[in-house]
Amino acid sequence: MKNRFLDLGMQPIANNFLKEIPENEFKFHLTVSYDDETSLVSLDDFVPPELMFNENYVYHSSMSKTMRDHFLSGANHLKNILNPKSVLEIGSNDGVFIKNFDPATTVAVEPCGNFADLTNEMGYQTYCNFWTKDIVEKIVQTGKKDLIFSANCICHIQDLDDAFSTVEKVLSTGGAFVFEDPSLYRMIKRGSYDQLYDEHAHVFSVIALSNVLRRSNMEIFRVESLDVHGGSNRIFACRIGERPIDESVSYHISMEKEAGLDRLETYVNFGKQIETSKKQLTNLLKELKRKGSKIISYGATSKSTTVFNYCGINSSTIDYIVDTTPSKQNKFSPGVHIPVIAPEDTTIADADYAFLGAWNFESEISEKESEFLKRGRFITHVPFVRIIEPEE
Ligand code: TYD
């Protein structure tokens, strides 16, 4: 049974940065439930995928050094431990991961036309398609795959049984399905409710994934914790019985059980904690505004779309959002319509505070913004609402 534990109100498409403010912007009611049969945490209402993932998709994985380094070291690590002769990536975005593999033995599936064109031009055969069972024949014609990789994409897929059974059909015997997505354990520990937005149809625990993968004859044989995206897990799965199970699997499952991820009560408490976080953030910003502070936001993230729309924070509080992604610049943020500008078009040093929309890149940003930090301060809501002091 599904148990609703969080209501984040009406939310827009989190990455739909707007050239002009429309009269009727698409919004949906973002509520989140825990399924006590599988322990899966999912949105109650899914947004049609075509509205989110199309040729106008703006999120470029290569946009930050942290992610470029992450995918380079991840690719080398997988080559070392799995030594795959053939590779498929699901959701290859701008090619930041597959560019580390040989185009002759690597194919990709990517629903956003702009990115599929890009990786096709880079020499990687890329099918512009959602990952559904309709794609099986086309992929199998290029051979079954030793490594099927996917980063920050499987949690976007609404029908997991369809996705996993499709993987199972395309995987070679003994092959590995490796995917990384934000970790539910870290979300609950950090109070980072902003991991919840239209694209994230689910936030995964290892417990839930074990249950759901089994329905497609697969099991998890290894789990790695990653720091990216505010804390992610890299899950290694294979057909049941095809590989020895590493002790990292039981380690993660025990840790999650200890944190109560298999109990509804944990989520109900999380829901209450998030309501408090909202009050604290709006009060803090109100107080700083009352004192005449200039507040901006740093990183036009999907996460900040959730926070701003849930907390009702708009351009009367935040003057603008600064972001390095060209396709987000000179646009308005989804729902609350805060202008997004390029770092080179402004000097953030005259702001008193900057809300860290990209709190997951705090160290990269702090290093870069030492001039701002001589006087200004970052504000975050993770793991609790506060002004970040320099000694932290
Ligand atoms: P990310 O946290 O991956 O976003 P999401 O919540 O959508 O998954 O994205 C980080 C955003 O922050 C991205 O739009 C680029 C931007 N950014 C900057 O503007 N400056 C920076 O120094 C860094 C590291 C990121």
Contact 58/15 with Cβ under 8 angstroms?
yes
Mutation choice for ligand 1 from 199, 303, 324, CB with most ligand atoms inside 8 A: 324
- Region 358-387: mean pLDDT is 95
Residue-wise pLDDT for 316-352, tens only, equals 999 999 999 999 999 999 999 999 999 999 888 889 9
Ligand 1 centroid from CA 364, angstroms: 10
What pLDDT is attached to residue 64? 84
Residue of 262, 211, 215 lying closest to 235 (CA atoms): 211
pLDDT at 140 over 80: yes
- In whole numbers, what is the pLDDT of the chain averaged over residues? 96
Segments forming the whole domain that contains residue 203: 40-261
Task: Please report whether residue 280 resides in a domain.
Answer: no
Residue-wise pLDDT for 161-201, tens only, equals 999 999 999 999 999 999 999 999 999 999 999 999 999 99
Mutation choice for ligand 1 from 58, 93, 301, CB with most ligand atoms inside 8 A: 301
Residue bearing the CA closest to ligand 1, atom 9: 301
State how far the Cα of 201 lies from the Cα of 199, in Å rounded to an integer: 6
What pLDDT is attached to residue 187? 97
pLDDT at 289 over 90: yes
What pLDDT is attached to residue 30? 98
What pLDDT is attached to residue 10? 98
What pLDDT is attached to residue 126? 98
Same domain, 295 and 226: no
Mutation choice for ligand 1 from 361, 362, 367, CB with most ligand atoms inside 8 A: 361
CB neighbourhood size of 289 (10 A): 15
Same domain, 225 and 336: no
Residue bearing the CA closest to ligand 1, atom 23: 64
Residues in the chain: 392
- Region 31-40: mean pLDDT is 98
Task: Please report whether residue 79 resides in a domain.
Answer: yes
Same domain, 159 and 232: yes
Task: Please report whether residue 267 resides in a domain.
Answer: no
- Region 219-242: mean pLDDT is 96
For residue 197, give the ligand 1 atom closest to its CA.
6
Ligand 1 centroid from CA 322, angstroms: 10
Same domain, 242 and 339: no
Beta bridge partners of 197: none
Ligand 1 centroid from CA 234, angstroms: 20
What pLDDT is attached to residue 77? 98
State how far the Cα of 190 lies from the Cα of 42, in Å rounded to an integer: 18
- Region 45-57: mean pLDDT is 91
Task: Please report whether residue 286 resides in a domain.
Answer: no
- Residues whose beta carbon lies within 6 Å of some atom of ligand 1: 59, 63-64, 299-303, 323-325, 328, 358, 360-361, 364-365, 368
Q: Which two tokens stand for residue 113?
A: 């036309």
Q: Which two tokens stand for residue 224?
A: 């790695």
Ligand 1 centroid from CA 307, angstroms: 15
What pLDDT is attached to residue 391? 72
Task: Please report whether residue 212 resides in a domain.
Answer: yes
Label residue 23 by pLDDT band (50, 70, 90).
Answer: very high
Ligand 1 centroid from CA 130, angstroms: 24
Number of structural domains the chain divides into: 2
Same domain, 368 and 222: no
Task: Please report whether residue 327 resides in a domain.
Answer: yes
Ligand 1 centroid from CA 335, angstroms: 18
Label residue 59 by pLDDT band (50, 70, 90).
Answer: confident
